[in-house]
A = this chain, B = another copy of it.
Amino acid sequence: MVDLIPRRNSPSPGLLGQRKPLGVVGGMGSLATAKFLEVLARKSRVERDQDHIPFVCLSAPNIPDRSQAILIGSDAPLRQILERAYWLEKAGCGAIAIPCNTAHLWATEIKQALSAQLIDMVEITRQVVEDSRGSEARTLRSISLGTSASMQHGLYAGLNNNNFGKQFSRSLTELQHEAVRIITDVKSGNVIDAQDKLTRLVHAARSFDPDKIILACSELSAICGDLADDNDIVDPINILADACIDWWTAGSHAFGHVGQAIMG
């Protein structure tokens, strides 16, 4: 039997069905990548293994630290992120997901570079947050917790973080410094400590009565547990998983009409 099986260098329709799979640029970080894939599986709500979304996840984590690079004005990580995304395109992936908020500071460059669609976690999350207040979106009070680069470059800015009054900016800085310490704990494997610290950090953030608290780093999503179920918590990893499922479902509906166009 073995000799009968052709050795292919990219997914074939037989291998992946008649649809191009999702491509996932992993490793930023590795625990966050696993959390995204777990959420994707849990949210898919299918009855059988065979009905889950096919994906190729390339986790080549030797990418320079995104936050440090941005803070010194370096684009070094962008080149490596694009290499991985190109590789996934070449492997036959029909859309690309990157479960890392900070990497989305380069979302414009990534979209310009790719042929495949980037399912833009930050853009979709911002829309979800804004829609959550409908016509009152302009007065939304949100607190974002993420890497230094994400915060300094306003990854989730425009969500009116400034509606808390003059006394808040110093407190916000303290909250965000603690978020960075928690992210470092997760990356270095101190998950239990990090979970306790995140619970306390969210409690402290809630003392300012925000409408939304955005877990703006996927390392925080990776350890947030049941926190993500609270109405005031926005977890971009959850939102990215929903968007990937929407992408797949839309293609499933389209497939009957344009199957040849989207065959792997």
Q: Which residues of B contact A29 (CB under 8 A)?
A: 41, 49, 52
Q: How many whole Å from A236's CB to the nearest CB in chain B?
A: 17
Of A84-92, A118-126, A150-158, A208-216, the stretch lying at the interface with chain B is: A84-92
The answer to whether the Cβ of A177 comes within 8 Å of any Cβ in the partner chain is no
Of B14, B52, B60, B75, the contact of A16 (CB 8 Å cutoff): B60
Expressed in whole angstroms, the Cα–Cα distance for A88 and B69 within the complex equals 31
Of A167-175, A183-191, A249-257, the stretch lying at the interface with chain B is: A183-191
Expressed in whole angstroms, the Cα–Cα distance for A5 and B84 within the complex equals 11
**A189 near B45: Cβ-Cβ < 8 Å:** yes
Q: Which residues of B contact A27 (CB under 8 A)?
A: 49, 52, 54
**A7 near B89: Cβ-Cβ < 8 Å:** yes
Q: Which residues of B contact A60 (CB under 8 A)?
A: 11, 15-17, 21, 54
The answer to whether the Cβ of A34 comes within 8 Å of any Cβ in the partner chain is yes
Expressed in whole angstroms, the Cα–Cα distance for A112 and B1 within the complex equals 11
**B49 near A41: Cβ-Cβ < 8 Å:** no
Given A2-B112, A9-B9, A90-B8, also A83-B14 (CB < 8 A): yes
**A38 near B31: Cβ-Cβ < 8 Å:** yes
**B37 near A52: Cβ-Cβ < 8 Å:** no
Q: How many copies does the complex hold?
A: 2
Q: Which residues of B contact A79 (CB under 8 A)?
A: 1, 4-5
Of B4, B9, B59, B90, the contact of A57 (CB 8 Å cutoff): B59
Expressed in whole angstroms, the Cα–Cα distance for A26 and B21 within the complex equals 13
Expressed in whole angstroms, the Cα–Cα distance for A47 and B29 within the complex equals 11
**B34 near A41: Cβ-Cβ < 8 Å:** yes
Instruction: Kindly list 15 other residue pairs between chains A and B, CB separation below 8 angstroms, not including A15-B87, A57-B57.
Output: A5-B82, A9-B90, A17-B62, A21-B59, A28-B49, A29-B52, A30-B49, A35-B38, A42-B189, A46-B189, A47-B189, A48-B187, A50-B63, A54-B62, A57-B59
Q: List the interface of chain A (C-beta within 8 A of B).
A: 1-2, 4-5, 7-12, 14-17, 21, 26-31, 33-35, 37-38, 40-42, 44-65, 75, 78-80, 82-84, 86-87, 89-91, 109, 112-113, 187-189, 191
Pairs A-B, 6 closest by C-beta atoms: A34-B38, A30-B41, A34-B37, A30-B52, A2-B113, A29-B49
